[in-house]
Amino acid sequence: MAQRVLACTGCHGPQGRAASDGYYPRIAGKPAGYLYNQLRNFRLGQRHYGLMTQLLAPLSDGYLDEIAHHFASLEIAYPAPQPATASPAELRRGEALVRDGDPTRQIPACASCHGARLMGVLPAVPAVIGLPRDYLNAQLGAWRTGNRQAQAPDCMAEIAKRLATTDVFAVSQWLAAQPVPQPARPDPSLPAAPPLRCGSMPAKSGPAAPGQ
């Protein structure tokens, strides 16, 4: 499988550890259910990037599941965090949104879905730490504008549309500046039910979970 996915590593970096330009995310070690969902979303046009769509168009759900499990199985060291360029006040705002959310605007904490360590949760919630700042900005912006979509109910789109542009900046600045906790693996479960229903959180990954 490592030979078969060399087309992926051309953009996502050796073994899927992320490229240096900050726009292609790390895929190594992400939950298999999350990776599988994203591969299907690109193939189905819910995420928009022509090269990804062309690569995935001829592949079956079963093959996408194999790719997802391959990258999910990789345990590779993360790079050092990016130095923040935001002000102390902006970083405090970013941390507050990540840790506590903003109840006055019905914005749940990132940690309530992505785990207290922010390393994601099995089977299908990704890490939000250890990602480049530019990638975080781009994806939150894509959800706010509708250019990125997930299975309904699309909880991330709902949350992102409640964020101001300054909130997106603050969150991405704070997240990208944090060291990755050890062990750098997703949590097995959440301690409580997530605050919103989310269609991209299936019971399990792969083609055995149709419609997820």
pLDDT at 166: 97
Angle at which helices 88-99 and 165-176 pack, to 10 degrees?
Answer: 90
- pLDDT tens for residues 118-139? 999 999 999 999 999 999 999 9
**Of 139, 150, 131, 158, nearest to 201 (Cα)?**
150
Our measurement of the distance from residue 63's CA atom to the centroid of its chain's CA atoms, rounded to an integer in Å, reads 21
pLDDT at 83: 95
Radius of gyration of the chain (CA): 16
| Confidence band, pLDDT 50/70/90 cuts, at residue 206 | very low
| Confidence band, pLDDT 50/70/90 cuts, at residue 210 | very low
What is the share, in percent, of the chain residues with pLDDT greater than 90?
Answer: 80
Tokens representing 178 are 């944090």
Return the beta strands (E) in the chain as ranges: none
Q: Please check the confidence at residue 205 and state whether its pLDDT lies above 60.
A: no
9-13, 161-165, 184-188: which range is least confident on average? Answer: 9-13
- Ordered by where they begin, the domains of the chain are 6-72 (1.10.760.10), 88-176 (1.10.760.10)
pLDDT at 207: 39
Our measurement of the distance from residue 89's CA atom to the centroid of its chain's CA atoms, rounded to an integer in Å, reads 26
Average pLDDT over residues 81-95: 97
Beta bridge partners, 128, equal none
Helices then strands, counting H and E runs in the chain, come out as 9, 0
Residue type, 84: A
Tokens representing 134 are 């530019």
Tell me how far apart the alpha carbons of residues 169 and 107 are, in angstroms, rounded to a whole number: 15
Distances (CA, A) of 167 to 41, 94, 97, 109, 142: 26, 7, 8, 12, 14
